[in-house]
Amino acid sequence: MLDRTWLHDASFTLLYCCAALATFVILERALYYGWLSLCRGKVARLVRAGGAAAVASGGERDLFARSVREYVGAQTGEHMSRARAEDLSAALFLEVEGKVQSRLWLLDTVVTAAPLLGLLGTILGIMDTFSALSAGGISDPAAVSRGIATALLATAIGIGTALYGLIGHNVLHRVADDLTEAFKTFLLRTTIAEESEAEIAADHALSLAMAD
């Protein structure tokens, strides 16, 4: 038979680990997003000042600058169609988005798991209290109350941890969306590839077909 007391203590340990993990992710992502926001400002000034040429000649090595420089370099290094440039920009956007939103899934997991762990701890604690009652009777009602209060504490910690993680996740997700949208703007402003004659003819033919 499983030791319910050990399981009850293990649920508390897991809840504390969830809270610590959420705190680590929130702090790490907050610092990273703060640094990326500074880098975004530098790249934005370069794009406004000189467009693609200014970004290509810049020496910044942050995520945004490297990706935009790769995009500009690919367009200037060889003849690239507009469709190929759009494919490259989409690939770079997905790569940057993945790095920006990295580790946010951990917060999502904590938000989902913490209330369940708290509920499990409460159930195990109440079961342990009732087992003690059935074995020795109700000799100390205060001890019973303390046992139930300790069991309910697990649910309170679980809900509090989930709320903490949810707020952190939503705030960080909003900042991550702003950063990725800014990167998308950089890609659009530094697109220098032009549509080929074949692409122009295909667009014209599609427009005529839709008009008919």
Please tell me the number of Cα atoms within 13 Å of 2 on its side-chain side.
10
Q: How confident is the model at residue 137 (pLDDT cuts 50, 70, 90)?
A: low
With beta carbons less than 8 A apart as the criterion, state whether 22 and 142 touch: no
- Answer yes or no: are the C-beta atoms of 111 and 86 closer than 8 Å: no
pLDDT of the residue at 201? 46
Q: What is the pLDDT of residues 14-35, one digit of tens each?
A: 999 999 999 999 999 999 999 9
Burial label for 77, CB within 10 Å (0-12, 13-18, 19+), is exposed
Helices (H), the chain: 4-57, 63-77, 82-100, 104-136, 141-189, 197-211
> Where residue 76 falls among pLDDT bands split at 50, 70, 90?
confident
198 has pLDDT over 50: no
Mean pLDDT, all residues of the chain: 82
- Give the residue-averaged pLDDT of 190-211: 54
Q: Per-residue pLDDT tens for 102-119? A: 999 999 999 999 999 999
User: What is the average pLDDT across 161-179?
Assistant: 96
Distance separating alpha carbons of residues 156 and 8, to the nearest angstrom: 14
